[in-house]
């Protein structure tokens, strides 16, 4: 039987001779076998061509020299396979050597093997040049299909029947799609198609390590260090491939070789004669190499948590393709989360067959509104699923989930979060095929030298303008303000910016209210630095100094800063009442007063809900608050003053002025509810959702 060696050559003229001599030596050793050498010169230079032209190929029965212009290792190998006449194929590269028994031992194995669905690999890889290592390879079932999720546990120097490489060819992975590792990609396709990797014992690949040089290194340097998606990542295929190993490793031990260090002397003795033989051909291979070499195997450093997590994701979403995927921060009890929940539920009401996937990736231990997700939504919290993995691994899982489960017209919704923006920063170059919808409510803030500094969040949308199909905000003011800051913002927002008011229905009509001569004063929000809670004690003190019986009731929670809650609890001038689940959970009455404080905001949901139950709002003029609170018409809109003492005084003056003025409070509430009905009705929201998402 004829065996074909596919030799991929680029511009390795200066190091090609040792490779050719190594292949000839291995072919001569297998004297009872017949070989064909198919050399594919892909974009090769004159030096490389001259080495091929002058070489003595007499050890091979057939020699084919092919010229190509691919610039791709995968296409080069495919071209060689197409022109090969042998029944069995070996892949080889122009900078590596093989042990003299490489072909003979491999052919022995496949001739004894009745299963043609095997791919053969060497037992040892010896690195030389810029590295000195020995890698020992284990085969299936020790090397699980799970291990292919993050990295390739073998090498590109595979051997198999020609039909295997005809059915499952390599793919062309160019730097233009920012991916790399054609050999890894090829192997995952083989695994997905049911092929098994077998290791041929006592044969060696001598791998020339040249840091930063060569076609492979240039591709890796320009890539995202991932392979393109393929059938391996399909949810049905992945769960089928990995089902047994998942059960084995999820609650069992990860496959390792704890005695690897004890094997070094044994392996070194076994490989010594291979080193000596290869050293005669290539002096860079140190004949004393086994003594100093670092030893590891293809089970070392294989963290299976991401692989196991992906299995669980596939098991949850198997067979489901999503119309909408939301990448967001945890579904906490906040205004932004309520806003998104409204959108999800309206999408579900309009189409019962609509499938929604919610992906979160940041650690969070506070209360959530997860129970308010629509029934046709699946929530996967990567911070729980792979709690020991870093954020980059969570981002990789996110990419694979999107690739495997997003419909071709899927809309991917991005909420401002470290998790979502980090994903975009990492994989933006390969995300052009989907429609990305960005949500922008307001900028963030920080403190610098004791002063508040606004941090631009919109810049992340600017960075992703090429994949952004729509920008949705809960208010118009922030979009209009951003338009004026940069010329490019004007164009981006005019073309893609949309204001979508959240639906809030009036529950306690001011026209039907009874007299409330003793209004309560409430503060209700998330307790974090954005909401400016540190001025609460000052407001409370000013109120109590004038009306000792009036203590502001504080409702809220903090998932990140217990010190703020302790500050409020320890303040004698206010009463901390614990967390709350929406304004309706607070025991308020018509024309009670809601004090809203914040440095930055959009159009806060808590203000809208408070108006709906008949509360009077006192709030700062920030973000889109002015779109519902018009000063002395629908509430009290205060200038946002940076000085805390002056801001607290402004709140207290208005609170004290309105406490005994029931008529004025009802007038303001009535007007606010009228505007709320016009601007935030469910009917308007439903129509706007239909228009925005074309449903």
DSSP lists the bridge partners of residue 420 as none
CA distance linking residue 482 with residue 468, whole number of Å: 16
Residues 273 and 416 in one domain: no
- Contact between 156 and 197 under an 8 Å Cβ cutoff? The reply is no
Domain assignment present for 684: no
Domain assignment present for 416: yes
Residues 654 and 587 in one domain: yes
Residues 556 and 440 in one domain: no
Residues 360 and 449 in one domain: yes
Domain assignment present for 688: no
Last residue of a domain, one of 440, 469, 499: 499
Tokens at 76, concatenated: 């080069």
Residues 572 and 622 in one domain: yes
Instruction: Check which CATH number belongs to the domain holding 468 and give it.
Output: 3.40.50
CA distance linking residue 668 with residue 674, whole number of Å: 10
Q: 623-642 pLDDT, tens per residue?
A: 999 999 999 999 999 999 99
Residues 207 and 250 in one domain: yes
Q: 245-272 pLDDT, tens per residue?
A: 998 888 776 555 545 544 666 676 789 8
Burial of 143 (0-12, 13-18, 19+ CB in 10 A): buried
Domain assignment present for 311: no
Instruction: Give the pLDDT score at 547.
Output: 95
Residues 145 and 99 in one domain: yes
Residues 582 and 452 in one domain: no
Say how many domains are in the chain. 3
CA distance linking residue 330 with residue 358, whole number of Å: 10
Domain assignment present for 315: no
Instruction: Give the pLDDT score at 248.
Output: 87
Residues 287 and 332 in one domain: no
Q: 11-70 pLDDT, tens per residue?
A: 999 999 999 999 999 999 999 999 999 999 999 999 999 999 999 999 999 999 999 999
Instruction: Check which CATH number belongs to the domain holding 149 and give it.
Output: 3.90.550.10
Judged by DSSP in three states, 326 sits in: strand
Instruction: From residue 255, give the alpha-carbon distance in Å to each of 141, 249, 310.
Output: 10, 8, 18
Q: Which parts of the chain have pLDDT scores under 50?
A: 213-222, 258, 261-262
Nearest to 526 by CA among 573, 477, 470, 564: 564
CA distance linking residue 437 with residue 347, whole number of Å: 14
Domain assignment present for 452: yes
Cis peptide before 141 (omega within 30 of 0): yes
CA distance linking residue 62 with residue 38, whole number of Å: 8
Q: 139-174 pLDDT, tens per residue?
A: 988 899 999 998 889 998 999 999 999 999 999 876
Number of neighbours of residue 76 by Cβ within 10 angstroms: 28
Long-range CB contact pairs, 382-387, < 8 A, 24+ = 382/309, 382/419, 383/330, 385/309, 385/312, 385/313, 386/305, 386/306, 386/309, 387/363
Instruction: Give the pLDDT score at 270.
Output: 83
User: Where are any strands of DSSP class E within 421-551?
Assistant: 435-439, 444-448, 451-455, 468-473, 497-499, 521-526
**Distance from the Cα of residue 448 to its chain's centroid:** 31
Domain assignment present for 303: no
Residues 416 and 521 in one domain: no
Instruction: Give the pLDDT score at 335.
Output: 87
Instruction: Give the pLDDT score at 216.
Output: 40
Residue 214: domain span: 2-297
Residues 291 and 336 in one domain: no
Last residue of a domain, one of 499, 530, 549: 499
Instruction: Check which CATH number belongs to the domain holding 625 and give it.
Output: 3.40.50.2000
Q: 426-485 pLDDT, tens per residue?
A: 999 899 999 999 999 998 877 777 777 777 889 999 999 999 999 999 999 999 999 988
Instruction: Give the pLDDT score at 396.
Output: 96
- Contact between 364 and 335 under an 8 Å Cβ cutoff? The reply is no
Residues 424 and 516 in one domain: no
Domain assignment present for 306: no
Calculate the CA dihedral of residues 187, 188, 190, 195 and round it to 10 degrees: 100
Instruction: Give the pLDDT score at 487.
Output: 85
- Contact between 198 and 140 under an 8 Å Cβ cutoff? The reply is yes
């Amino acid at each position: 039987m004829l065996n074909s060696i596919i030799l991929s050559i680029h511009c390795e003229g200066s190091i090609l001779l040792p490779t050719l001599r190594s292949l000839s030596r291995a072919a001569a050793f297998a004297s009872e076998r017949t070989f064909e050498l198919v050399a594919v010169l892909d974009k090769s230079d004159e030096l490389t061509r001259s080495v091929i032209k002058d070489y003595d190929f007499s050890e091979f029965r057939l020699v084919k020299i092919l010229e190509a212009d691919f610039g791709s290792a995968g296409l080069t190998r495919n071209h060689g396979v197409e022109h090969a006449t042998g029944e069995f194929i070996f892949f080889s590269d122009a900078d590596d050597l093989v042990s003299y028994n490489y072909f003979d031992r491999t052919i022995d194995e496949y001739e004894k093997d009745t299963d043609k669905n095997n791919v053969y690999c060497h037992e040892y890889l010896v690195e030389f040049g810029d590295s000195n290592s020995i890698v020992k390879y284990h085969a299936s079932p020790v090397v699980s299909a799970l291990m292919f999720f993050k990295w390739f546990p073998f090498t590109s120097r595979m051997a198999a029947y020609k039909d295997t490489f005809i059915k499952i060819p390599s793919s062309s992975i160019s730097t233009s799609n920012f991916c790399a590792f054609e050999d890894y990609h090829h192997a995952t396709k083989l695994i997905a198609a049911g092929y098994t990797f077998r290791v041929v014992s006592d044969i060696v690949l001598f791998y020339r390590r040249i840091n930063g040089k060569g076609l492979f290194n240039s591709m890796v340097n320009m890539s995202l260090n991932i392979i393109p998606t393929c059938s391996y990542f399909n949810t049905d295929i992945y769960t089928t491939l990995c089902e047994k190993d998942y059960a084995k490793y999820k609650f069992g031990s990860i496959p390792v070789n704890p005695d690897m260090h004890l094997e070094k002397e044994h392996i070194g003795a076994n490989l010594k004669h291979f080193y000596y033989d290869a050293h005669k051909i290539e002096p860079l291979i140190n004949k004393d190499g086994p003594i100093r070499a670092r030893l590891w195997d293809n089970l070392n450093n294989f963290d299976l948590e991401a692989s196991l997590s992906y299995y669980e994701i596939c098991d949850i979403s198997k067979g489901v393709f999503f119309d909408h995927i939301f990448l967001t921060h945890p579904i906490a009890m906040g205004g932004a989360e309520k806003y998104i929940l409204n959108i999800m539920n309206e999408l579900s009401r309009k189409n019962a067959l609509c499938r929604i996937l919610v992906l979160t990736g940041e650690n969070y231990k506070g209360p959530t509104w997860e129970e308010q997700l629509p029934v046709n939504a699946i929530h996967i919290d990567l911070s729980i699923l792979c709690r020991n993995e870093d954020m980059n691994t969570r981002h990789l899982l996110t990419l694979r989930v999107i690739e495997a489960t997003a419909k071709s017209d899927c809309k991917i919704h991005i909420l401002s979060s470290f998790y979502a923006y980090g994903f975009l920063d990492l994989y933006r170059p390969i995300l052009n095929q989907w429609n990305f919808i960005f949500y922008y409510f307001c900028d963030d803030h920080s403190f610098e030298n004791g002063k508040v500094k606004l941090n631009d969040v919109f810049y992340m949308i600017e960075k992703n303008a090429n994949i952004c199909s729509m920008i949705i905000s809960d208010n118009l003011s922030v979009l209009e303000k951003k338009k004026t800051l940069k010329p490019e913002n004007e164009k981006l927002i005019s073309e893609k910016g949309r204001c979508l008011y959240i639906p809030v229905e009036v529950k306690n009509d001011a026209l039907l209210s009874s007299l409330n001569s003793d209004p309560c004063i409430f503060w209700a929000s998330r307790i974090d630095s954005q909401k400016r809670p540190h001025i609460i004690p000052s407001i409370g003190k000013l109120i109590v100094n004038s009306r000792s019986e009036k203590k502001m009731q504080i409702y809220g929670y903090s998932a990140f800063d217990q010190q703020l809650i302790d500050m409020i609890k320890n303040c004698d001038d206010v009463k901390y009442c614990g967390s709350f689940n929406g304004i309706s959970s607070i025991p308020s009455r018509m024309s009670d007063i809601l004090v809203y404080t914040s440095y930055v905001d959009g159009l806060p949901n808590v203000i809208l809900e408070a108006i709906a139950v008949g509360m009077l709002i006192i709030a700062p003029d920030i973000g889109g608050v002015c779109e519902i609170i018009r000063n002395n018409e629908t509430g009290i809109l205060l200038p946002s003053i940076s000085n805390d003492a002056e801001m607290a005084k402004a709140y207290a003056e208005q609170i004290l002025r309105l406490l005994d003025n029931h008529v004025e409070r009802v007038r303001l509430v009535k007007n606010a509810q009228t505007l709320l009905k016009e601007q935030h009705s469910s009917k308007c929201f439903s129509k706007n959702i239909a228009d925005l998402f074309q449903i």
